[in-house]
Amino acid sequence: MAVMMMKILLLGLALTPVLLVSEAMDIHQLKQLATRDNVTCILVFGDSSVDPGNNNRLPTTIKSNFHPYGKDFVNGLPTGRFCDGRLATDFIADAFGFTNVIPAFLDPNIKKADLLHGISFASAGSGYDDLTANLSTLYKLGARRLVVVGVPPLGCMPLVKTLMSQKTCVESYNELAFSFNAKIKEKLVIMKKTIGLKTGYLDCYNIIQDAVIHPLKYGPPVLLSGFLHEKLETDIVYVLKMACRFNRDYKGCCATGIIEYGDTCKDMSTCDDASKYVFWDAVHPTQKMYQIIAQQGLQSLDERLFF
């Protein structure tokens, strides 16, 4: 019954995302469009970037249901998310008005009602499967819209830079990710023509890369009265931006931040404020970065995805 109600399908990947379309949509229109077009549920498929805890119940060593993961989640609870808090898919579901967190399908506490709003089948370490796998079946069951999250700039991950002994992003890895994303977009065009799904692409590659290259852009907006002395106003803006910007060392927040993730991050010390970091561990983004990915991705959605 839950699948029959489903109208949006989100596929996440290795680290989770800007829709490459000409007409952007105001994020505040989302709930209205969802209601108007009977968009009732989000199904998530992917790996650790969108796994909210399925791996807690699977026979695999790839887990994060321990501290310090979940440090900034409700009550500091480690849920199995490879992050300090919520994932991009949680923020997306929240924006649609469905739920503030998407539960794991294997969560023993899940209720049937939860399936009607959003559920994640993602499993850490799974990566991309064939994009066409089972989509025909899902289409028959009610799936009409598919949004695929592209591959991030792999060469900017702290772990990759450490393994390649580089302080800056490893271009060869980034080029590989960029090429793979181009093939994803080509596949989406084919699927749209052959299956009839309405498709969208969320470009986490450029969003994460921009945050790494331009960390000062990611502080909050600064509103001043206009009556301050010009020099004082400039100083205030500078201090606020410096306090809220992303950290420039580009390490992860957990432990040394250059190689730890999963088990090697277990019970390790962390930075004081993860919101100043792009990466939580040496592979995965922070809750703050996931929020930015969700916000920018949603703002780039085209209304044609709903028509």
pLDDT in tens, 90-125: 998 888 888 889 999 999 999 888 888 889 999 998
DSSP letter at 221 equals: P
Q: What pLDDT score was predicted for residue 246?
A: 82
Q: What pLDDT score was predicted for residue 181?
A: 94
Q: Are 67 and 267 in contact (CB under 8 A)?
A: yes
Query: In sequence order, what are the beta bridge partners of 147?
Result: 10, 200
Distance CA 84, CA 106 (A): 21
Distance CA 138, CA 159 (A): 36
How far CA 120 is from CA of 104, 155, 299, in Å, comes to 5, 27, 22
Residues 104-143 as b/e (b if ≥16 CB within 10 A, e otherwise) read bbbbeeeeeebbbbbbbebbbebebeebeeebeebbeebb
Q: Once rounded to an integer, what is the mean pLDDT over residues 186-214?
A: 88
How far CA 294 is from CA of 130, 203, 268, in Å, comes to 24, 10, 28
Distance CA 269, CA 67 (A): 9
Residues 6+ apart with CB under 8 A from 73: 79, 81, 84, 85, 86, 287
- Collapse the DSSP code of 115 into the 3-class scheme (helix H, G, I; strand E, B; otherwise coil) and give the result: helix
Q: What pLDDT score was predicted for residue 237?
A: 46
User: pLDDT higher for 274 or 129?
Assistant: 274
Q: What pLDDT score was predicted for residue 130?
A: 60
Distance CA 257, CA 259 (A): 6
User: pLDDT higher for 224 or 129?
Assistant: 129
Q: Which residues are catalytic?
A: 48, 281, 284
